[in-house]
Structure 1
Amino acid sequence: MSRLIASRKRLLRVRHVQHSQAVSAVMSARDEASQIEDNARRIAKVREELFDGEGVTNGALLASRRELAGRLERAGRQLDGALYDANRRIDQRDAERIVADRDREIAGRLKDKAHAAREAQREARLAALPSYRRMQNKGLEE
């Protein structure tokens, strides 16, 4: 019975590590998504500020600003796609975390069940002893 308990404890430790890894993966995916969001905001801000300056402008300056604005717009669209992918990864990692958490809880219940079975077996052995042996064992336990 103690082998079973040791096996259950080992399984519980493994499940706990798997759960920790899944939580870490979710956090890194969220960090990645927040960095992408921050970059998208910064690009949008730069694009807005590009045409805010009122002053002397000539055709070449307007053309270069327009080209830069187009490039910033394309970069923003690419970041939108990357953000969508990052959010999908977050959802996937969160689903993996939920599965790992469930497996960890199951392993904990199995370990508790093995402990209860060992205690029940001990009690059954004590109950099967003749009464004079029980008295001797009871005296030793106290």
Structure 2
Amino acid sequence: MTLIAGAVLGASALVSAPASAKMADGVNPWQHCGIGSYVFPDNGVAAAISNVIWDLGTTAVTSATVTPETCNSNLVTTALLIDSSYDQLVMQTAQGSGEHLNAALNLAGCSATAETVGALRNDLNAVVSSAGYADMTHEDKAYSFYSSLEKVSANCGA
């Protein structure tokens, strides 16, 4: 509970941060970038809180600083989510539910239906059971999950 209260206070400070903390083009990294901005596109405070809880806002600030044009790109945000939480995504896909899985599916424009999660799980099983999986790099595994998510999202009706 203390962690959540700290995150809310930290996010409140970030949302009301002075103009110097904002990007030159008016982008507030905690509200307009990172995973929080895609989970809560119409609620800047909720987006900031989500970004702070997720990774203390590091991903949001990095994307705003290095490549501000990606702040509104679901593709980049989805890739960052998968890269930073691959192990959780694999576990939650196998289980059939979880926060990381829901976030990834939402970013891809899908709902976490049994059909969508099942299709993603089938793709994941094919990759994990392949002979070369143990030798794959983290980046290759994450890209494989991204590709599966992209394929599944093309067929979901969300």
So what's the TM-score if we normalise by structure 1? 0.21
Higher relative contact order (CA 8 A, sep 6+): 1
Where is the helix percentage greater, Structure 1 or Structure 2? 1
Larger of the two Rg values belongs to structure: 1
Normalised by the length of structure 2, the TM-score is 0.19
